[in-house]
Amino acid sequence: MAGYKQILIVFFSIWMLGCTPTIHKPGNAIMEPRLLDDRYITPDGAQLPLRYWYPEQDEPEAVLIALHGFNDYSQFFEEPGKFLKDHRIVSYAYDQRGFGASASRGLWSGIDAYAEDLNQFIDLVKSQHQGLPVYLLGESMGGAVAIAAMARNQTTMVDGLILAAPAVWARETMPWYQRALLWLLARTMPWLTLTGQGLGVVASDNIDMLIELGKDPLVIKATRVEAIHGLTNLMDEAFSNARNIPVDTLMLYGEKDEIIPPKPMYRFLREFSDHNAAAKTIALYENGYHMLLRDLQAKVIWQDIYTWIKSSNTAALPSGADRRW
């Protein structure tokens, strides 16, 4: 009997170590990337749904690229995009791989893929709007992708970066049991889907908006463990690169954020603000939640973003949130 148990233990150990999270990487490059009216086509031929908000009467004075968060998609920027187009700013947003209406929905493509897709997209947008300043906004996971891309490419990709509650909850700031559970699930059941129901976490005070998201079939409700593992790797990289952002940056964070806790965020902000402080604006919103751009006070944030872009990081924010840090 003892020998039988030992065999089972050895077999289980081998099986557990052999089961690892899968990264669903892009295929080989087969074409030049391009933008169509409703999609962004990447070098491997992936078609990523695209939205844009263009001023209806006046020519744009600036360009903004908006990158959505985890399990979300490009529709997240619908209302801010409408606001900014009325202020002569054209905005673009695309569904990242595995999200929204893109192919392989729910599958994680890896940090390299998300960063390279962003680099290619920025180049395409800049080529269409030569002479205009181009800004990048990343919300939550989108912010982490933006930080990773910036850290990997120290050339001036854009004229400024806006981070809205970026995903920087790195492993080193998580409790040990959370890290242990993720490690175990990622190596035993990477295909398992989790919903997050029952956690009691509030993403926004805009309840009507949250209800609509719950009904939206393009918002992912059940997440594969391997995607959570991949997101955590991304957050590790973003957290470790707080000092490696080479452009003027507007950092937005809600003090009621329950998705990215204060402890990792404030550690990130201290590192972030210690390097090239003159180029950094940190705005803390007393009544802000994680989904700042869609909270009940979202228009306050939109106005701050517009003022920061319009003044090229020289004017105080109308809300006064930049004086809370």
Cβ 165 vs Cβ 259: under 8 Å: yes
CA distances from 159 to 44, 203, 247 (A): 28, 30, 7
Section 284-307 average pLDDT: 98
Neighbours of 220 (CB within 10 A): 20
User: pLDDT digits over 245-258, tens only?
Assistant: 989 999 999 999 99
Nearest to 233 by CA among 194, 186, 265, 266: 186
Residues 6+ apart with CB under 8 A from 4: none
Check whether 74 has a pLDDT greater than 90. yes
Q: Which two tokens stand for residue 64?
A: 């903004």
Section 88-111 average pLDDT: 96
Q: Residue for token digits 């078609």?
A: 47
Section 313-323 average pLDDT: 94
User: pLDDT digits over 104-139, tens only?
Assistant: 999 999 999 999 999 999 999 999 999 999 999 999
Its pTM surpasses 0.75: yes
Distance CA 275, CA 308 (A): 20
Percent of the chain with pLDDT over 90: 83
**Mean pLDDT value across the chain:** 92
Q: Which two tokens stand for residue 130?
A: 């030569």
* Banded model confidence at residue 287, pLDDT cuts 50, 70, 90: very high
* Banded model confidence at residue 71, pLDDT cuts 50, 70, 90: very high
Section 12-37 average pLDDT: 78
Residue 22: what pLDDT? 87
Sheet holding 62-67: strands in order across?
A: 34-35, 39-41, 47-53, 89-94, 62-67, 134-139, 160-164, 249-254, 280-285
Section 190-211 average pLDDT: 90
Residue 19: what pLDDT? 64
* Banded model confidence at residue 20, pLDDT cuts 50, 70, 90: confident
For the CA atoms of 75, 77, 82, 87, the dihedral, rounded to the nearest 10 degrees, stands at -160
DSSP class of residue 273 equals H
Neighbours of 48 (CB within 10 A): 21
Q: 154 phi and psi, to 5 degrees?
A: -80, 0
Check whether 198 has a pLDDT greater than 90. no
Cβ burial of 219 (10 Å; 0-12, 13-18, 19+) is middle
Check whether 10 has a pLDDT greater than 60. no
CA distances from 259 to 30, 36, 65, 252, 286 (A): 39, 34, 23, 14, 16
Residue 2: what pLDDT? 47
Strands 134-139 and 160-164: parallel
Section 194-206 average pLDDT: 87
* Banded model confidence at residue 142, pLDDT cuts 50, 70, 90: very high
Section 16-40 average pLDDT: 86
Cβ 145 vs Cβ 114: under 8 Å: yes
CA distances from 168 to 53, 235, 240, 243 (A): 29, 5, 9, 13
Section 276-295 average pLDDT: 95
Residue 13: what pLDDT? 43
Neighbours of 279 (CB within 10 A): 14
Neighbours of 124 (CB within 10 A): 18
* Banded model confidence at residue 3, pLDDT cuts 50, 70, 90: very low
Cβ 263 vs Cβ 173: under 8 Å: yes
Helices (H), 102-140: 111-128
Identify the CATH homologous superfamily for domain 2-19+26-323.
Alpha/Beta hydrolase fold, catalytic domain (3.40.50.1820)
User: pLDDT digits over 155-184, tens only?
Assistant: 778 999 999 999 999 999 999 999 999 999
Section 263-283 average pLDDT: 93
* Banded model confidence at residue 259, pLDDT cuts 50, 70, 90: very high
Count CA atoms within 13 Å of residue 192 on its CB side.
Answer: 15
In the chain, where are the structural domains located? 2-19+26-323
